Structure 1
Amino acid sequence: MTPSAYSVHPTPVGDALIVMSDEGLVALQLIDGAPGDRLAELSVALGAVPDRDATAIGPVAAELDEYFAGRRRAFDVAIDWRLTRGFVREALQVVCRIPYGETASYGEVALGAGHPNAHRAVGSACARTPISLIVPVHRVVRSDGTIGEYGGHPGVKRYLLDLEAAAGE
Structure 2
Amino acid sequence: MSEKNAATLATQDEGSVLQELNKKFVQDAHDQGLVEISYRIVESPIGRLLIATTEAGLVRVAFETEGHESILDTLAQKIGPRILKDRGALDDVARQLDQYFDGSLRNFSLSLDLRLSTEFRRQVQVELGNIAYGQTLSYAQMAQQVGKPKAVRAVGTACATNPLPIVLPCHRVLRSDGSLGGYLGGLDVKSRLLHLENPDYLGTGATLF
For the pair 1:63 / 2:101, whether they are aligned, the reply is no
Answer with 1 or 2: which has the greater Rg. Answer: 2
Q: Displaced runs of 4+ in structure 1, greater than 3 A?
A: none
1:151 to 184, 191, 205: 184
Superposition deviation, residue 85 in structure 1: 1.9
Q: Counting helix residues as a fraction of each chain, which structure ranks higher?
A: 2
- Structure with larger RCO (C-alpha < 8 A, sep 6+): 1
Tell me: CA distance 1:93–1:53, structure 2 relative to 1, closer, same or farther (3 Å): same
1:122 to 138, 152, 155: 155
Q: Counting strand residues as a fraction of each chain, which structure ranks higher?
A: 1
For the pair 1:87 / 2:117, whether they are aligned, the reply is no
Number of aligned positions between the proteins: 167
- Helix, strand or coil: the match of 1:28? strand
2:29 maps to what in 1?
Answer: none
Q: Is the 8 A contact 2:62 2:68 kept in 1?
A: no
Tell me: CA distance 1:34–1:112, structure 2 relative to 1, closer, same or farther (3 Å): closer
* Bigger Cα displacement from structure 2, 24-33 vs 63-72: 24-33
- 2-side partners of 1:92 and 1:32: how far apart? 21
- 1-side partners of 2:67 and 2:162: how far apart? 20
Kindly provide the CA deviation profile for residues 103-144 of structure 1, in whole angstroms up to 9, marking residues without a partner as x.
011111111111111111111111111111101000000011
- Helix, strand or coil: the match of 2:133? coil
Superposition deviation, residue 57 in structure 1: 1.2
1:133 maps to what in 2?
Answer: 166
Alignment of 1:1-169 (within 5 A): 3-32=36-65, 35-151=68-184, 153-166=186-199
- 1-side partners of 2:97 and 2:140: how far apart? 28
Identity %: 37
Q: Which amino acid aligns with 1:56?
A: A
With structure 2 as the length reference, what TM-score do the two structures score? 0.76
- 1-side partners of 2:84 and 2:50: how far apart? 13
- 1-side partners of 2:180 and 2:61: how far apart? 21
Structure 2 gaps of 5+ residues are 1-32, 201-209
* Bigger Cα displacement from structure 2, 49-58 vs 29-38: 29-38
* Bigger Cα displacement from structure 2, 147-156 vs 82-91: 147-156
- 2-side partners of 1:104 and 1:49: how far apart? 38
2:206 maps to what in 1?
Answer: none
Kindly provide the CA deviation profile for residues 32-73 of structure 1, in whole angstroms up to 9, marking residues without a partner as x.
396211111111111233211011111001000000000000
